[in-house]
Chains A and B, each alone.
Chain A
Amino acid sequence: MRHRVVITGMGIVCPLGHDVPTMWNGLMTGQSGAAPTTLFDASTFPTTFDAEVKKYDPARFIKNMHLHKNGNRGSLFALGACAQACRQAGIDIETDAPADGIDRTRLGIYLGAGEGPAVTDAFFNAIINGWDSENHRMNWTQWTEAFLSRTAPMLELEQEPNMPSAHVALLTSARGITRNCLTACAASTQATGEAAMLVRHGKADIMITGGAHSMIHPLGVTGFNRLTALSTRNDSPTTASRPFSASRDGFVLGEGAAIVILETLESAKRRGVPILAELTGFGSSNDAFRVTDMHEEARGAVQAMRAALKDAGAAIDDIDYVSTHGTSTAENDSIETRAIKTVFGDRAKNVPVSSPKSQFGHLIGATGCAELITCIKAIEENILPMTMNLNDPDPALDLDYVPNKPRKAKVDTVMSESFGFGGQNNVLILRRFTE
Chain B
Amino acid sequence: MSKRRVVVTGVGAASPLGLTSSDLWSGLLEGRSGSQTIRVFDPAAFPCRLAGEVPAYNIRDYVPKSYRKATKLMSRDIELSVIAADEAVKNSGLVTKASEAATVTVAPERFAISFGAGLISCDLDEIAPCVAMSVTDGKFDIRKWGKDGLQALTPLWLLKYLPNMLPCHVGIIHDIQGPSNTITCGETAGHIAVAEAAEMVARGDADAALAGGCEAKVNPIVMLRQCLLKRSAQNANDRPEQACRPFDAAAAGSVFGEAGGVLVLEELKFAQSRKAVIAAELAGTASSNTLNPEFTHLEADGKGLQIAIHKALQDANVRPDQIDLIIPTGTGIPADDKAEAAALEAVFGPALSSIHAWPIKSMVTHTGAAAGAIDLIAAVLAIRHGVIGPAKNFDRPADGCRLKIAAQMTKKDIRFALCCGYSFGGQTAAVVLKKYEESA
Contacts and interface: CB of A to CB of B under 8 A. Distances in A.
Could you say which of A175, A184, A423 has the most chain B C-beta atoms within 10 Å of its C-beta?
A175
Nearest to A124: B140
Contact of A226 (B119, B158, B293): B158
Nearest to A40: B142
B288 A157 contact: no
A166 B295 contact: yes
A144 B45 contact: yes
Contacts of B311: 105
A165 interface: yes
Interface in B136-192: 138-140, 142-147, 150, 153-159, 161-165, 167-169, 171-172, 174-186, 189, 192
Given A170-B293, A184-B164, A285 B177 contact: yes
B296 interface: yes
A392 interface: no
Interface in A309-336: none
Contacts of B168: 286, 291, 422-424
Contact of A194 (B128, B153, B162, B196): B196
B95 interface: no
Contacts of A46: 146, 150
A288 B176 contact: yes
A288 B139 contact: no
Interface stretch (A87-95, A133-141, A369-377, A395-403): A133-141
B37 interface: no
Given A131-B128, A138-B124, A226-B154, A181 B181 contact: yes
Contacts of A157: 225, 229, 295-296, 424-425
A183 B164 contact: yes
Interface stretch (A148-156, A260-268, A379-387): A148-156
Contacts of A175: 288-289, 291, 303-304, 307
A307 B177 CA distance: 12
Interface in B217-261: 220-221, 224-225, 228-230
Contacts of B161: 223
B135 A128 contact: yes
Contacts of A40: 142
Interface of B: 41-46, 70, 73, 108-109, 113, 117, 119, 122, 124-125, 127-129, 131-132, 134-135, 138-140, 142-147, 150, 153-159, 161-165, 167-169, 171-172, 174-186, 189, 192, 196, 199, 203, 205, 220-221, 224-225, 228-230, 286-291, 293, 295-296, 303-304, 307, 311, 423-428
Contact of B44 (A44, A127, A141, A307): A141
Interface in A117-138: 120-121, 124-125, 127-128, 130-131, 133, 136-138
A332 B98 CA distance: 28
Given A41-B143, A182-B184, 13 more contacts: A44-B143, A143-B124, A148-B228, A152-B228, A160-B424, A178-B426, A182-B162, A182-B164, A203-B199, A219-B122, A288-B172, A307-B205, A421-B162
B180 A183 contact: yes
21 contacts: A115-B119, A125-B140, A128-B132, A138-B124, A140-B41, A144-B45, A144-B220, A160-B425, A162-B426, A181-B182, A182-B162, A183-B164, A183-B180, A190-B181, A197-B199, A228-B155, A286-B176, A288-B171, A291-B156, A420-B164, A422-B159
Given A180-B183, A225-B150, A424-B164, A285 B159 contact: no
Given A127-B124, A147-B224, A67 B199 contact: no
A65 to B, nearest CB: 12
Contacts of A181: 181-184
Interface size bracket, A side = 35 or more
Contact of A183 (B119, B140, B181, B289): B181
Nearest to A190: B181
A262 B184 CA distance: 21
Could you say which of B290, B291, B303 has the most chain A C-beta atoms within 10 Å of its C-beta?
B291
A176 interface: yes
A121 B140 contact: yes
A174 B220 CA distance: 34
A287 interface: yes
Contacts of A228: 155
